[in-house]
Chain A
Amino acid sequence: MKKYHLFLLLLLQAALLHAQTIEGKVSELADGEKVPLPGATIFWVGSTIGTTTASDGTFSLKKNSKYNKLVASFVGYASDTIAIPNADNPLEFILAPNAQIDEVQVIGREPGTQMSRMTAIQQQVISGAELRKAACCNLSESFQTNASVDVNYSDAVTGAKQIQLLGLAGTYTQMMTENIPNLRGLAGVYKLGYVPGSWMESIQVSKGTSQVVNGYESTTGQINIEYKKPTDKDRIYANGYVNNFGKYELNANSAFKVSDKSQSIVLAHFENLGVINDHNHDGFTDDPLVRQYNLMNRWFYHPNQNVEMRFGFSVLDEDRRGGQTAFLKDNHPESSSAYGTGIKTQRYNVYSKTGFFFKDPSTSIGIIADGTYHHQDAFFGLNKYEGTQKSLYINSILQAPVVKTKNNVEQLLNTGISLQLDNFDEVLNDSLFKRTDAIPGIFAQYTLSIGTTFSLIAGLRGDYTDKEGFIVTPRFHLRKAFDENSNTVIRLSAGRGWRQPNLVSENLSLLASSRQAVVSPYRNFEDGWNFGTSLLKNITIAGRTLTASIDFYHTLFNRQIIADIDINPQKIYYYELDGRSYSNSFQAEVKYFLLENLELTGAYRINDVKVTTDGKLQQKPFTSKYKGLISASYATQNHHWKFDLTAQFNGPGRIPSTSSNPDHYQRPESFEAYTLMFAQVTRSFKRFDLYIGSENLTGYTQKHPVIASEDPFGPYFDASMIWGPLSGKMFYAGFRYKLF
């Protein structure tokens, strides 16, 4: 009998315990599978009472009569709330990865490039897997397999490459590193070389104006770079690379845990090209000699569930020398009679992002601060240039729900203030260019989402400038999916973008010519509008998904500062646009896994970019009328071998007239279509990969890129008339070692 009592008591206790305890599990979805999230925080909304999940993602927590909502949160994931009274027991939380103060959703998983279906802004994500398809070297190679972004040389001597989005100069594209505007101003020309390839985790390319939260720039789009994170699993990563032009690179990074609350990653890069290559025998080196040191340290600090901080710094030192081989071989370059160029760069950057989260997890404050010092000391023949930029950027964003989540309807309001401080100090020969700006801004952005099928973002910002007064930037994005799985999605966007040009530093490559600058008065801000639409469709064919997308973007400039090289081949005229300037870009893209491990991509883009120069509306020079891309990517069943092949078809374009030059210094007024090919083979071993590859496999180059190469100090010299590749067939080999 006694035994029975005990048994009953135990039973009763178990039942009571059961009633008072909430059990559940926290998971994330990885490749469609639920994966437990250990160490996630569970707490009652409005309290500090909570627990963390065990190694299998499970938790148990006592019920509390005062509170009725549970939140599950985890670093780098969007929090989720469940109301308890009518929830199942055990509870199930599924968290989606999302760095909370990041505005752009980060997807860093295989396969290569993905066209985002869920974001309101049309976006392509270039993942780590895609980045590894072009193992060399920095950001300028990352777009080889991407149809949206063009990368071209800007001149024949410095090796600098520039990007174009929608057929327009990269300066109209906002560059961001982890959603902080970066690489602005003086860094503009060589910025692609400042981001080592192996440091990047993923890149997001968005077309059209982006959200007002990040500023008034980004007329044509936005490129956001995600670096490797302190929370990465790679404990040690090392990469070495060498090519047949004599360039070598070393990269290393290591992520480590400092304490339970802080983690850090150190990234280091060194590159060197010390060999003079002159394959076209014009007396000029094809690629400049480069030596770069680059170091970055990033931290993640998570003192408690209400605060998280990311901060870090980077240091860059680069020396580039180009020009005539006689100059580069000369032991006393300062007294050399040959033509040479040199650019020494030092760049220092510190940043921090702090997120404060409130009891209601959809309310947060994010504060971003970023400071940059950039110094460039350069000469192009007899032209001397020295520039210094000091910038400070502060942005604070408050996110609050307008109306509490009801059914599937979610309304969010982001408001905030920002401050951009810039100090430019530039000296070109005897002319001084100084500019100091303090631009405070205020913005509000409303987001409405209904389930997963509809979202709308409407934003407005005002920035006060002493030169223009208030500049107003409205932007609008809309996304509509026609089914729950987002197999058919349309998007619309419209918005305005502003930009302050830096005439000298943005047109530095024009110094690699005998052109003389003629500057007419101009107002400081460029003003453009962008309108776009896109359609994305997933179709299942033979059990595999075919993704097709088309998009159209129109960019229209109200005010633009023109660098006109059409009037006279010995001059550059800088003036405010007098006439029309626009770009129409139409792109179609198809992706399909023909076999389980064979992915094919095909894309085609038409660029119609016209600008009024020399008094007439004409095609923008050096811009291809179309671009096509075909790429095939194959991996063996166990992924031990990977093969990648990409062919790029670049259409014809216009070259500014040189008809007033002497006969032998004239060039055709257009260039023909040309094809570039890239290939790479990767062999993976347990802890390391080996790869070999080729860039420009067919060896296509622009012939005679330098006008008057034998008379570089004469009046007709011009190394800035560049539309095609300058270095020929390149082969490379390298390794990656990873310990995780």
Chain B
Amino acid sequence: MILVLAIALSVPTLLMAQSKAKSETVTIKTSAICNTCKQRIENDLSFAKGVKKVTLDLKSQNATVLYDPAKTNPDAVRKAITLIGYDADTLTADEKAYNKLPGCCKKDNLPH
């Protein structure tokens, strides 16, 4: 039982040590408009290469992205956002991805 506890407690510690590698932050203006958009961007973008953490503020529509500069760059992150279906700064959303968005995330469509 003690062994199990020791393993369980050491795993997070190891993972935390790993995440302390060098990282930078970029803030990108998106076209997110509702809570579903927020969840979608935060979830999907966190799986893009080199992205470590995503926080989206709906009021300002800004996504704050923590990333590893050795693996990605702000332009690649913007591109990734467009592929989820949203505008990213000056880039417009990928049309195919935008069409797949749920109703409430579409700007011209009233939800519910």
- A positions within 8 Å CB-CB of B: 30, 33-36, 38-39, 52, 54-56, 75, 231, 233, 235, 257, 263, 595, 597-598, 632, 634, 636-641, 643, 645, 675, 677, 679, 685-686, 697-698, 740
Contacts and interface: CB of A to CB of B under 8 A. Distances in A.
Contact of B103 (A257, A636, A679): A257
B107 interface: yes
Contacts of B19: 636-637
A75 B19 CA distance: 42
Contacts of B51: 638
A38 B52 contact: no
Contacts of B70: none
12 contacts: A36-B58, A54-B110, A56-B33, A636-B12, A638-B53, A639-B46, A643-B8, A643-B12, A645-B5, A686-B47, A740-B36, A740-B39
Contact of A38 (B16, B40, B102, B110): B110
B112 interface: yes
Given A679-B8, A740-B102, A39 B110 contact: yes
A640 B112 CA distance: 30
Contacts of B111: 38-39
Contacts of A38: 33-34, 104, 110-111
Contacts of B8: 632, 643, 645, 679
Q: Give the most central of A597, A638, A640, A686: most B CB within 10 Å.
A: A638
A235 B36 CA distance: 12
A235 B40 CA distance: 13
B57 A36 contact: no
Contact of B59 (A33, A597, A638): A33
B4 A697 contact: yes
A54 B109 CA distance: 9
Nearest to B46: A638
Contacts of A637: 19, 52-53, 66
A231 B34 CA distance: 14
Contacts of A263: 112
B59 A34 contact: yes
Nearest to A36: B33
Interface string B51-87: 1111001110000001000000000000000000000
Contacts of A634: 11-12
A680 to B, nearest CB: 10
A55 B108 CA distance: 7
Nearest to A597: B12
Interface string B2-24: 00110011011001100100000
Contacts of A235: 102
Given A36-B33, A638-B52, 20 more contacts: A30-B35, A30-B38, A33-B57, A35-B35, A35-B58, A36-B34, A38-B104, A39-B104, A75-B112, A231-B112, A595-B16, A636-B12, A636-B19, A637-B66, A638-B53, A643-B12, A645-B8, A677-B1, A740-B39, A740-B40
Nearest to A679: B8
A698 B108 CA distance: 56
User: B-side binding surface: helix, strand, loop or mixed?
Assistant: mixed
5 closest A-B pairs by CB: A634-B12, A638-B46, A686-B47, A35-B58, A645-B8
B95 interface: no
B1 A698 contact: yes
A643 B57 CA distance: 27
A233 B36 contact: yes
Contact of A55 (B4, B35, B109): B109
Contacts of A639: 46
A232 to B, nearest CB: 10
Contacts of B43: 686
Nearest to A642: B12
B44 interface: yes
A468 to B, nearest CB: 47
Contacts of B4: 677, 679, 697
A638 B53 CA distance: 5
Given A35-B58, A75-B112, A643 B47 contact: no
B15 A641 contact: yes
Nearest to B109: A55
A679 B104 CA distance: 37
A698 B5 CA distance: 11
Contacts of B15: 636, 641
A235 B12 CA distance: 33
A564 B108 CA distance: 68
A263 B111 CA distance: 12
Interface string B23-34: 000000000011
A335 to B, nearest CB: 47
A56 B60 CA distance: 11
Among B11, B43, B46, B66: residue with most chain A CB under 10 A: B43
Contacts of B103: 257
A55 B102 contact: no
A641 B15 CA distance: 9
Nearest to B36: A233
A265 to B, nearest CB: 14
Contacts of B104: 38-39
B1 A39 contact: no
Nearest to B107: A55
Contacts of B16: 595, 636
Nearest to A645: B8
A632 B9 CA distance: 9
Contact of A52 (B9, B36, B110): B110
A383 B73 CA distance: 72
Contacts of A675: 1
Given A38-B110, A645-B8, A233 B46 contact: no
A33 B58 contact: yes
Contacts of B1: 675, 677, 697-698
Given A35-B35, A56-B33, A645-B5, A686 B107 contact: no
B58 A640 contact: no
A38 B107 CA distance: 10
Contacts of A34: 58-59
A564 B16 CA distance: 56
Contacts of A740: 36, 39-40, 102
Contacts of A54: 110
A643 B107 contact: no
Contacts of A697: 1, 4
Contacts of B53: 637-638
A638 B16 CA distance: 11
A398 to B, nearest CB: 27
A235 B103 CA distance: 11
A638 B51 CA distance: 9
B53 to A, nearest CB: 5
Nearest to B61: A56
Contacts of B54: 638
A38 B43 CA distance: 22
